[in-house]
Amino acid sequence: MDLVANRNGSISVPADNPGRIVRCAQLALRAAEWLAPGLDFGIRLLVGSVFFQSGLTKIASWSSTVALFENEYAVPGLPPEVAAYLGTGVELFLPVLLVLGLGTRLSAAVLFVFNIIAVISYPDLSEVGLKDHQYWGLLLLVTLFHGPGKLSLDHLIRRKFPV
């Protein structure tokens, strides 16, 4: 396969041979198939660790957490102490499921909604904080729509018990 290095550092396949272009595309698809499970797991691990760390911070000082929910966070429709318990529970339980890839799409969906509620309920969120939440939301949507991938308990269960 004749690859040509361009001046800008990119590599291209000469267009005069369509067979070479097809082989190059097939090679790229094989590489993507090989890398996808690791990327799926990496996304789940990254997002899961962010939410789990937040949950650990909340239980480290419970009185401070309840005070934050009473004074800073305005969770719609819930008393502050109930919101603190629910929020902490979500942040400690669902990220574990997400990382393991068990009930992955449901976990990603709930964490996506939780992420939106976090943004809405904290009006003093900085611009950087908002961008972080957007980033996490986008990664959760990738998992929600693409699925957990091959490195997940969901995948193993589907293989063991096909529907």
Cα distances (Å, whole numbers) of residue 25 to 15, 20, 30, 37, 38: 13, 9, 9, 20, 21
The reply to whether the predicted model has a pTM over 0.95 is no
Whole-number pLDDT of residue 100:
98
pLDDT of 18 > 80? The answer is no
pLDDT digits (tens, 9 = 90+) for 44-53: 999 999 999 9
Mean pLDDT over each residue of the chain, to the nearest integer: 91
Average pLDDT over residues 63-90: 93
**Is residue 104 pLDDT above 70, yes or no?**
yes
Strand locations in the chain (E): 4-5, 11-12
What is the residue extent of each domain of the chain? 36-160
Count Cα neighbours of 41 within 13 Å in the Cβ-side half-sphere: 11
- In the three-class reduction of DSSP (H, G, I as helix; E, B as strand; rest coil), residue 4 is classed as strand
User: Is the predicted pLDDT of residue 145 greater than 90, yes or no?
Assistant: yes
Where is average pLDDT lowest: 1-5, 26-30, 56-60, 153-157? 1-5
pLDDT in tens, 2-15: 555 567 766 665 56
End-to-end CA distance of the chain: 42
